[in-house]
Amino acid sequence: MAEAERIIGTPDTPGATGAGPEQPDRNVASGERSDDSGSDPGPGSAPGSEPGSGLASGSESGPGKASGESGAEGASGGAGVPRGKRRVAVLFTVAVLAYALDLISKLIVVAKLEHHEPVEIIGDWLRFEAIRNAGAAFGFGEAFTIIFTVIAAAVIVVIARLARKLYSLPWAIALGLLLGGALGNLTDRIFRSPGIMEGAVVDFIAPKHFAVFNLADSAIVCGGVLIVLLSFRGLDPDGSVHKD
């Protein structure tokens, strides 16, 4: 009877004898799988490399790292690029326009108004009257003509040096007005009588109860007022904003 049961076998039942021998089989299978995973180099590994080195080498030299390095290099390279375009062209454009308008207006005034009666524009409130001013803007300081000439030349040099770090559009306009006005009056100081560096500036705009001035004086005053406003707002010529 026992010999027959051994030959025929018994039906599989839960928890029967089959449960016992299956555990070693699973252990063996899992061991084989672990051996296979440890021994197979995998498609990403180079021949002759150690087990598991394929993943590591892929993470170090794969396209992900290359793109990451290029992105980092781009970020570091872009850090040195200025925040915006320099506004030197705007500065010199405004300066040339201001200087040209002042020069043309003075040529017309000398040719048409000098030694003639004043021309009334708005009754007694505004008229054009040609006069020669040896002083500063609006007729002040006539005894210091040479000093004002040197100051005008110094202003031009300072503005030219400041243009190298100019990235603010409002500052470019303000400095352009200053530069054009300074050049306009400096031209009169150098080329008009009574002599070089002592020439009298041509003024012709005469409001009622106010000093007579010209377009160069107006450009200087407008540029100066704009610079004061920009300074109060904390805007620097390089485009940065500071708060005191």
pLDDT at residue 69 is higher than 50: no
* Catalytic-role residue among 35, 40, 203, 236: 203
Q: What is the mean pLDDT of residues 208-220?
A: 90
Q: What is the mean pLDDT of residues 20-32?
A: 45
pLDDT of 180-196, one tens digit each?
A: 999 999 999 888 887 77
Q: What is the mean pLDDT of residues 213-218?
A: 92
- Highest mean pLDDT range out of 13-27, 47-61, 155-169? 155-169
Q: What is the mean pLDDT of residues 19-32?
A: 45
Q: Is 130 helix (H, G, I), strand (E, B) or coil?
A: strand
pLDDT at residue 14 is higher than 70: no
Per DSSP, the residues of 32-90 read: HHHHHHHH---TTSPTTPPTTHHHHHHHHHSHHHHHHHHHHHHHHHHHTS-SS---HHH
pLDDT of 84-96, one tens digit each?
A: 688 899 999 999 9
pLDDT of 144-168, one tens digit each?
A: 567 777 888 888 899 988 888 899 9
At CB < 8 A and 24+ separation, what contacts does 112-116 make? Answer: 113/204
Output the six-digit token pair for 127: 């008229």
124 is catalytic: no
Distance CA 197, CA 146 (A): 6
40 is catalytic: no
114 Cβ contact partners less than 8 Å away, ≥ 6 residues apart: 130
State percent of the chain over pLDDT 70: 61
Q: Between these two residues, 40 and 120, which has the higher pLDDT value?
A: 120
pLDDT of 96-115, one tens digit each?
A: 999 999 999 999 999 998 88
| The pLDDT value given to residue 101 | 97
| The pLDDT value given to residue 18 | 44
Q: Between these two residues, 191 and 66, which has the higher pLDDT value?
A: 191
185 Cβ contact partners less than 8 Å away, ≥ 6 residues apart: 137, 152, 201, 214, 216, 217, 220
* Catalytic-role residue among 40, 102, 217, 244: 217
